[in-house]
Amino acid sequence: MRDSRLGARQAKKEYEKRREAPARVFVKLSDDLRKRFLEGYEKDPQFSRVLEWTKTTQWSTDYRFFRNEDGLLFFKDADYIPRLCVPRNMRPEILIQAHEHPMETAH
């Protein structure tokens, strides 16, 4: 039993040692694209509810969803890293842009 605990501890140490911070991509949205995101949030069944929650007095910035100064909606993942929320109607366009445009790709 003791050996298995030591093995688990060693594995955890190795994991922590190898763990790297996730990659980040910083982008600046044009005013037109930002407006499309905001309009998309209003039409998206999931995000429209979240937007309403963020406007209430009971809303806390400790919650997983938050809005930045531009009104864009973000979700804090399990590691509390903010992820931009993409409205459902814009997902195909954003995925194509991220994967196929040579100057904008995240790969």
pLDDT tens for each residue of 16-41: 655 556 666 677 889 999 999 999 99
Q: For the whole prediction, is pTM greater than 0.85? A: no
Q: Which pLDDT score, from 0 to 100, does residue 3 have? A: 52
Candidate ranges 13-27, 58-72, 93-107; pick with highest mean pLDDT: 58-72
pLDDT of residue 43: 95
Measured from the Cβ of residue 84, the count of other Cβ atoms closer than 10 Å reads: 14
pLDDT at 9: 74
Query: What is the per-residue pLDDT for 51?
Result: 86
Query: Is the distance from CB of 60 to CB of 67 less than 8 angstroms?
Result: no
What are the residues whose beta carbons fall under 8 Å from the beta carbon of 97, sequence distance 6 or more?
104
> Do 104 and 98 contact (CB within 8 A), yes or no?
yes
pLDDT band at 47 (very low <50, low <70, confident <90, very high): very high
